[in-house]
Each structure stands twice: as structure tokens, then as C-alpha cells.
Amino acid sequence: MNPPARTPKWAVISTEDHAVPTAAQKFEAKRVGAHISYPRSGHDVPSTSPGAVDRAIVAAADSVCGGAPIQRGEHGVPVITGCDAT
């Protein structure tokens, strides 16, 4: 199922991915109107650029939760509380 067009979207596109071409990732992200970040990493972005993934999660949550408190869970993973954006 495709999400509604008005749903905000984020994409973290690795610039050195040899599994999925960067151009293909960029095309798909632009096609859906995603906010894009480009960390210099390979295919496993969460392992090599966790800060980029963290920032995308926090920005996405903030866009729909309007500044709901963000806490850090295990291993520093962002946990958004008090958001009723379901």
C-alpha cells in the first residue's frame, strides 16, 4: 500500500552503496518528495552512519509530532513519547 501523498517522508541515501545504485535511491526518494540526506557510507547506513539515521528519525518524528519529547532508549536510539500522530 502506498502512503498518502501528504505523509512526510525521509530518505537516507548512502553515497557509496555498491548494492543499490545511489542514482536509483535518489530517483525513488525524489519521486515521493522525501527529505533527503546523503551520508558518505556504504550499503549498511545504520552501522556506518548512525548519526544520519538518527537525525532523519528525529526530524520525521518532529514533523508529525510537533516537538514531542524525544528520549534516548537502549544504545541511544530515539524514543518519541507523547505523540498522537497515528
Tell me: the pLDDT tens digits for 31-48? 999 999 999 998 898 888
Q: Is residue 32 part of a domain?
A: yes
- Does residue 85 surpass a pLDDT of 70? no
- pLDDT band of 10, cuts 50, 70, 90: very high
Q: Is residue 5 part of a domain?
A: no
Q: Is residue 85 part of a domain?
A: no
- What's the total number of domains in the chain? 1
- Res 79: pLDDT: 72
Across residues 59-85, what is the average pLDDT?
72
List the domain range (segments joined by +) for residue 21. 10-80
- Quick: pLDDT tens for 51-69: 898 889 888 888 877 766 6
Distance CA 86, CA 40 (A): 33
Q: Is residue 86 part of a domain?
A: no
